[in-house]
Amino acid sequence: MQLRRGDVLDGAMAILDEYGLGDLTMRKLATSLGVQPGALYWHFPNKQTLLGAMADRILDGVAAPPTAPTWDGALSELAHRFRAALLAHRDGAELVAATYASRLTTARVREAFVAAGLRARLSRAHAELAGYALLHYVLGHTVDEQSRLQLAELGALTRRPVSPDVSTETAAGSDDDLLDGDPAVRFDFGLTLFVDGIRTRLHTGGATSPGPNVTPVQSN
């Protein structure tokens, strides 16, 4: 039974889900597949490429056409789908963020955002920029959400070993409870700011910096 490229990918995803990105090494992956480390390099030229393929798999389907009838609904649907895909695998957000520079992966997701922006009758240029901004927001939020989640799980097991590498505690302490609140609420709030910002852009006709392409239209 020969090793196929897909088997390597499956094995890598399994290690990711069970042990996390930090424990995903080529050597451990090889061992789990019952093969020598060098064998992997016949299927993938290097680790970075393998990680890219994993990111692609994680984001598979995220960019499918949204079903929501309104542009803002579509935008929200895509953003939620994106976040859910990242959260569906251990360190999923971190992996996608790390592999993001060599995208192709995220390009399709951004294009889906752009399409929704065009539906709102944003100019192509503005839709591009909005998609870009939205992508960054969702990714940034979710990386943070997931890392807090995993810190919390770790803390729940070992009783307050929080921030083991920091001597002085965060000076804040007062309002942390809010950040410990439902991450979905935090996510939605930021999303709403974006959507409302886009709506404003439509009504004012783009009064601000990025050029004078106007055409005001209501949001339908």
Partner DNA sequence: ACCTGAACACCGTTCAAGT
- By three-state DSSP, how is residue 193 classified? helix
Return the closest-CA partner of residue 4 out of 31, 32, 42, 37: 42
Query: Helical H runs in 88-174?
Result: 92-98, 105-119, 124-158
Q: Does 209 bind a copy of itself (CB under 8 A)?
A: yes
Output the smallest distance, CB 202 to a copy of itself, in A. 9
CA of 71: how far to CAs of 29, 128, 208, in Å?
A: 43, 15, 22
Select the binding partner of residue 191 from DNA, a copy of itself, none (C-beta < 5 to 8 A, by kind): a copy of itself
21-29, 60-68, 82-90, 185-193 -> range binding DNA (CB under 7 A): 21-29
- CA–CA separation, 87 vs 17, rounded Å? 11
Q: Does 81 bind a copy of itself (CB under 8 A)?
A: no
From residue 111 to residue 150, what is the string marking binding to a copy of itself with x (rule CB under 8 A)? x------------xxx-xxx-xx-xxx-xxx-xx--xx--
Please identify, using beta-carbon distances, which residue of 88 and 207 lies nearer to a copy of itself: 207
Size of site (CB under 8 A) for a copy of itself: 73
Residues 173-192 that bind a copy of itself (CB under 8 A): 175, 178-179, 185-186, 188-192
Tell me phi and psi for residue 54, to 5 degrees: -65, -40
Residues 31-90 that bind DNA (CB under 7 A): 34-39, 41-43, 45-48
CA of 151: how far to CAs of 23, 34, 40, 186, in Å?
A: 16, 32, 32, 18
Residues that bind DNA (CB under 7 A): 2-3, 24-28, 34-39, 41-43, 45-48
